[in-house]
Amino acid sequence: MESSGKSYALITGAANGIGFEFARLLSMDSYNLVLIDIDIEKLFEKKNQLMNQYKNEIIILSVDLSKIEAGSIIFNKLSELNIEIDILINNAGFGMFGYFADTSWDREQNMIQLHVVTPTQLIKLFLPGMLKRNHGKILNVASLAAFQPGPLMSIYYSTKAYLLSFSLSLANELTGTGVCLTVLCPGPTKTGFQVTTGNENPKIKWNMACSEVVARYGYQAMQSGKIIAIPGIINKSIVFIEHFLPLKFVCQMVRLLQERNRRKIRLQIDYQN
């Protein structure tokens, strides 16, 4: 099968927040884009916004990434179009706040699928082509949450921990292949995510960054081949200090911060990191 001969970057969760900022940065560098999100109207809006500014080609696909067949749908569609992916950015995600005994299993299954299964499957499908061409870049968006347990958001923290561990393992395997993998671990980011987890007016705002800043940091880290990217000196300090603290203490501190930063327990979700 003949390829299109053009360089494409695929971004999941591309209609808002960090994902859209990645799309903007890639457009500035003349990459053609494949934008994936569940919100087709928002995708059309963002596509038009980018095409009014840049001359790159943009393909949009409305796919529910929380479904088991999501990765195959994307891969098969792009194969039909003879499109090869040179940059894969797994960004889509959502949060849910509450006691594990009370939260919705259906939503937790969706979260596990979205944060764990679909990113892993997309890499499994697109990585062989990158290795064959001896070049490619993968960026997984995890979270600062990946470095510690997270009471009251236990599934979210656990799925992000998987992304971190998987990314580090795979990055090591890819050494010397021409394919680089970066895992981005931002702290709380102004994307709309806080509203959906009951945290629209957090009392602790000192490490809140905007989507544009986080995306730029992650993009530069990916382009330079950096493996772990933690934006912000405070976030880096938190990760460093946690290594010297008892895990039980860290877990309790996370719980206290979670309780303090929420006005009430709400079970709302959003496809944004």
Question: What is the Cα–Cα distance from 77 to 96, expressed in whole angstroms?
Answer: 31
Residue 154 falls within a domain, yes or no?
Answer: yes
Is the pLDDT reported for residue 204 higher than 80? no
Query: Does 196 reside within a domain?
Result: yes
- Measured in residues, the chain has a length of 273
Question: How many structural domains is the chain composed of?
Answer: 1
- H or E segment to which residue 261 belongs: helix 247-261
Tell me the residue ranges of DSSP E strands in the chain: 8-12, 32-37, 58-62, 85-90, 136-141, 179-184, 189-190, 209-210, 228-229
Task: Please tell me the distance from the alpha carbon of residue 180 to that of residue 123, in angstroms, as a whole number.
Answer: 12
Angle, CA of 165, 224 and 22, to the nearest 5°: 80
Could you tell me the CATH number of the domain that includes residue 153?
3.40.50.720
Spatial separation of the C-alpha atoms in residues 65 and 74, rounded to whole Å: 10
- Indicate if the alpha-carbon torsion angle 185, 187, 189, 193 is positive or negative: positive
User: For the segment 39-92, what is each residue's pLDDT rounded down to a tens digit?
Assistant: 999 999 999 999 999 989 999 999 999 999 999 999 999 999 999 999 999 999
Which of the four pLDDT bands, split at 50, 70 and 90, describes residue 272? very low
pLDDT band with cut points at 50, 70 and 90 for residue 194: very low
Q: Is 156 a catalytic residue?
A: yes
Degrees to nearest 5, angle at CA 12 with 9 and 13: 135
CA-closest candidate to residue 9, choices 41, 35, 44, 33: 33
pLDDT in tens, 115-171: 999 999 999 999 999 999 999 999 999 999 999 999 999 999 999 999 999 999 999
Average pLDDT of 231-248? Answer: 92
Catalytic residue among 8, 31, 54, 156: 156
* pLDDT at residue 191 in the model: 64
Range of the domain at 96: 8-261
pLDDT at 188: 85
Q: E strands within 31-107?
A: 32-37, 58-62, 85-90
**Residue 267: inside a domain:** no
Looking at the domain assignment, is residue 2 inside a domain?
Answer: no
Q: Are strands 209-210 and 228-229 parallel, antiparallel or unpaired?
A: unpaired
Judge whether 223 lies within some domain: yes
Q: What's the mean pLDDT when you consider all of the chain?
A: 89
Q: Does residue 270 lie within any of the structural domains? A: no
End-to-end, the C-alpha distance of the chain in Å comes to: 36
Q: Residue 127: beta bridge partners?
A: none
C-beta neighbour count of 55 within 10 angstroms: 8
Contacts of residue 115, defined as CB under 8 A and 6 or more positions apart, other chains included, come to 93, 156, 159, 160, 162, 163
Pick the residue with more confidence: 151 or 267?
Answer: 151
Per-residue confidence at 207, pLDDT binned at 50, 70, 90?
low
The whole-number average pLDDT for the span 201-225 is 81
Does 38 fall in a domain? yes
Q: Report the run of H or E that residue 168 belongs to, with start and end.
A: helix 154-173
Hey, what are 15's tokens? Answer: 């209609």
Tokens of 156: 């979210």
| pLDDT tens readout for residues 254-263 | 899 888 877 5
CA–CA separation, 157 and 152 (whole Å): 9
In whole angstroms, what is the distance from residue 80 CA to residue 182 CA?
A: 28
What tokens were used for 137?
């870049």
Does residue 229 form part of some domain? yes
Q: Indicate whether this model's pTM tops 0.85.
A: yes
